[in-house]
Amino acid sequence: MHEDSLIARARQFPGHPEVILGIGDDAALLKPSGQTLVWAVDTMVENTHFLRAMPAAEIGWKLLAVNLSDLAAMNAKPIAALLSLGVPSDISPAWLSAFWDGLEQACQTYQVALAGGDTVRSSELHLSLSVLGQSAYPIQRKGAQAGDKLVVTGSFGGSAAGLYCFQHQLARLELLNRHWHPIPRFKEADLLVAESERQKTHLALLDTSDGLARSLQLICQSNQLGCLVNGYAIPVQNGLAEFPTQAQNWVLNGGEDYELLAALPASTAAQLDPKLFSIIGTLTTELAQLIQYSDQVIDLQQNQWGFQHF
């Protein structure tokens, strides 16, 4: 696909009422309604974050969805995205077209305008997308207190298991889908904020992009607290029983599940729908960061957890 036809295709994407001018000029024009602006960026590089053999439409979906997960974790709603594409000369028009389809589907689903971008030749496939959103009531990682319950959405380990299944050509569709089709947890973020507002209690929130263990460390560090987590309370993705030797590591450390981790008072946590939320532990004044099983206690400060590039 030629650059001009690529951009022409992007101009068919949906708009957003607060984007005054999208693709076609030197820059986009936005007129947000006066809420706090919330801004995130994520980059996906071939072979580091995805393989070219994966479905291109899913890579397009995921590129937006991972950014939206960051917005959901700030209690923000998206307005518009900018896309920077580094495209090798051997990429096929069919790949680009499918990538575009997946990105468009995500833009439509979550009402994000693709307001512009940049396209360059590159030795590797390099995808970087930035999303601008807004929030009347942004939620940060800090603001938690000792005694708060740690609550998560969804389940863990599915994305790492999906990657393994892809690499080993195991047709486990639910797991593969968990790897390349993350669903940003806007609905759950709304429910957490609504319950906190109803009870006038505090809330700390982040997403679990780099793994649950890493997110637990981050919420502890941000609040200068420790944690005590019941390992058996952590919701495990369906289908992991088939992989008993890897399951625990995938659940704690696999990353890319794009769930939310919240800290909030026990009285508020108790009101949450148990079909959508799991209470996994407590924040403590003791600074240790522990995950307890009957035969094992994992000390998060003894190891480096989560995927860190540097």
| Contact residues for Mg ion, defined by CB under 5 A | 26
Residue among 27 and 241 whose Cβ is closer to Mg ion:
27
Nearest to 110 by CA among 155, 153, 60: 60
| Least distance to Mg ion, CB of residue 93, Å | 25
Residue among 120 and 136 whose Cβ is closer to ligand ADP:
120
Residue among 28 and 283 whose Cβ is closer to Mg ion:
28
Residue among 105 and 130 whose Cβ is closer to Mg ion:
130
| Least distance to ligand ADP, CB of residue 95, Å | 14
**Where are the extended beta strands (E) located within the chain?**
19-21, 29-30, 36-45, 77-87, 113-121, 126-135, 149-153, 204-207, 226-230, 260-264, 277-284, 289-293, 296-299
Residue among 81 and 290 whose Cβ is closer to ligand ADP:
81
| Least distance to ligand ADP, CB of residue 28, Å | 7
Q: Which residues pair with 149 in a beta bridge?
A: 264, 282
Residue among 25 and 273 whose Cβ is closer to Mg ion:
25
Instruction: Tokens for 191, please give them.
Output: 């429910």
Query: Are the C-beta atoms of 191 and 268 separated by less than 8 Å?
Result: no
Q: Considering CB distances under 5 to 8 angstroms, the limit depending on partner class, which of Mg ion, ligand ADP, none binds residue 127? A: none
How far apart CA 131 and CA 113 sit, in angstroms, is 9
Q: Considering CB distances under 5 to 8 angstroms, the limit depending on partner class, which of Mg ion, ligand ADP, none binds residue 176? A: none
Residues of the shown chain interacting with ligand ADP in the complex, contacts defined by CB under 6 A: 7, 10, 23-26, 83, 85, 114, 116-119
Query: Are the C-beta atoms of 129 and 42 separated by less than 8 Å?
Result: yes
Q: Considering CB distances under 5 to 8 angstroms, the limit depending on partner class, which of ligand ADP, Mg ion, none binds residue 10? A: ligand ADP
Instruction: Tokens for 196, please give them.
Output: 């906190």
Q: Considering CB distances under 5 to 8 angstroms, the limit depending on partner class, which of Mg ion, ligand ADP, none binds residue 117? A: ligand ADP
Query: Are the C-beta atoms of 306 and 300 separated by less than 8 Å?
Result: no
Q: Considering CB distances under 5 to 8 angstroms, the limit depending on partner class, which of Mg ion, ligand ADP, none binds residue 216? A: none
| Least distance to Mg ion, CB of residue 215, Å | 40
Other Cβ atoms within 10 Å of 236 Cβ, number? 17
